[in-house]
Amino acid sequence: MERIRDVNVIIPTLNEGDAIGPTIDEIMQYIQKENIIVVDGNSTDNTREEVEKRGVRFFTQSGSGKADAIKQALKYVDKEYVLVMDGDYTYPAKHIKDLYNTIKSNDEIDHVIGVRNRKRQSLVYRFGNWFLTKFFDILFNVHLDDVLSGMYIVRRKALEGAVFEMKGFSVESEIAAHISSLGNKIAQVSIEYRERLGKKKLGVRHGIKIAVNIIRLSWRYNPVMVFFLAASLLMIPGLIIGSYTAFDYFFLHVDHFVKAIIAVVLVGTGFQSLMLAILSFASCLLY
């Protein structure tokens, strides 16, 4: 089988001694070992030994977390395409060709995400991923199905200018936010998803942190949507003041003209902002 030569594969690792060997063995069926880059977050197990005995480039991470690992690995990238892939054996390497063929076939596509079949994930993980993806879709006017997937391919030039200010597992959403903010296309390919080898690292606290970081990213990359959604909250005090004013008027026969005007302004402004946010999102889906 002829291997793909214009792709660098980045694998961030932390204590993946059980999985990194089989993961690299699979990848080397499609990518030559010189194009594989492993950046390790100071593992205390045999991760380094498993990587080095396969002749793959290994770097010890200077920062901490997955985002810093990918940012560091990009310094060593010299190919046109960058494929990021978790080192826990959950993503079958056979899908490298699917992602590569999709981005290679269309010059307008700068990012291809592997959408996982999540049947092997627990209900909590599936719901969390669905919620965070939809939250991202709303704030960034996109229509993605798995923004947190750990397997995706990007054109190297499309990452130029990316700030990489988020930490940890928010790096996937930051890359998608950066690509979408440029007006570039993001494609999706369905992939299989396997049970990981080794201990799980992702928990509920990570999901909460990702949600907070998505809000931070939206303020950087799509402030208009954030402004509309924030302004729509004006309906809440408007409805409270309006209810109070209406109660006094109809039941106590007391007039509050100023409060009534304030309530109408707040509700009207909030409602218009909400409609603008909805229309903005709907127009993106139709596009």
Average pLDDT over residues 106-119: 91
Cβ within 8 Å of residue 191, ≥6 positions away: 91, 92, 95, 98, 114, 115, 116, 117, 149, 151
241 and 152 in a single domain? The answer is no
**Residue 16 burial by CB count (10 A; 0-12/13-18/19+): exposed, middle or buried?**
buried
pLDDT tens string 163-219: 777 777 788 999 999 998 888 899 999 999 998 877 776 666 778 888 888 888 877
Structure token digits, residue 49: 């030994």
Which residue range is the domain that position 248 belongs to?
226-286
To the nearest whole percent, how much of the chain has pLDDT over 70? 91
189 and 236 in a single domain? The answer is no
Name the packing angle between helices 257-286 and 223-232 (round to 10°): 140
1 within some domain: no
Average pLDDT over residues 132-148: 89
Cβ within 8 Å of residue 247, ≥6 positions away: none
Query: Which of 32-36, 136-140, 161-165 is least confident?
Result: 161-165
Q: Smallest Cα–Cα separation from 213: which of 250, 165, 248?
A: 165
* pLDDT score recorded for residue 286: 47
d(CA 116, CA 147): 10
33 and 74 in a single domain? The answer is yes
70 and 171 in a single domain? The answer is yes
Do the beta carbons of residue 140 and residue 221 sit within 8 Å?
Answer: yes
* pLDDT score recorded for residue 160: 83
196 and 232 in a single domain? The answer is no
Average pLDDT over residues 139-144: 87
42 and 183 in a single domain? The answer is yes
Name the packing angle between helices 171-181 and 123-140 (round to 10°): 30
Strand, coil or helix: 180 = helix
Instruction: Quote the number of domains for the chain.
Output: 2
One-letter amino acid for residue 178 of the chain = H
141 and 235 in a single domain? The answer is no
Average pLDDT, the chain: 87
27 and 118 in a single domain? The answer is yes
Average pLDDT over residues 131-144: 88
233 and 265 in a single domain? The answer is yes
pTM of the model: 0.79
Average pLDDT over residues 266-280: 78
Q: Which of 194, 221, 248 is the last residue of a domain?
A: 221
68 and 199 in a single domain? The answer is yes
Do the beta carbons of residue 82 and residue 8 sit within 8 Å?
Answer: yes
CATH number, position 152: 3.90.550.10
The distance from CA 245 to its chain's CA centroid, rounded to whole angstroms, is: 45
2 within some domain: no
199 and 230 in a single domain? The answer is no
119 and 200 in a single domain? The answer is yes
Q: Which of 188, 221, 254 is the last residue of a domain?
A: 221
65 within some domain: yes
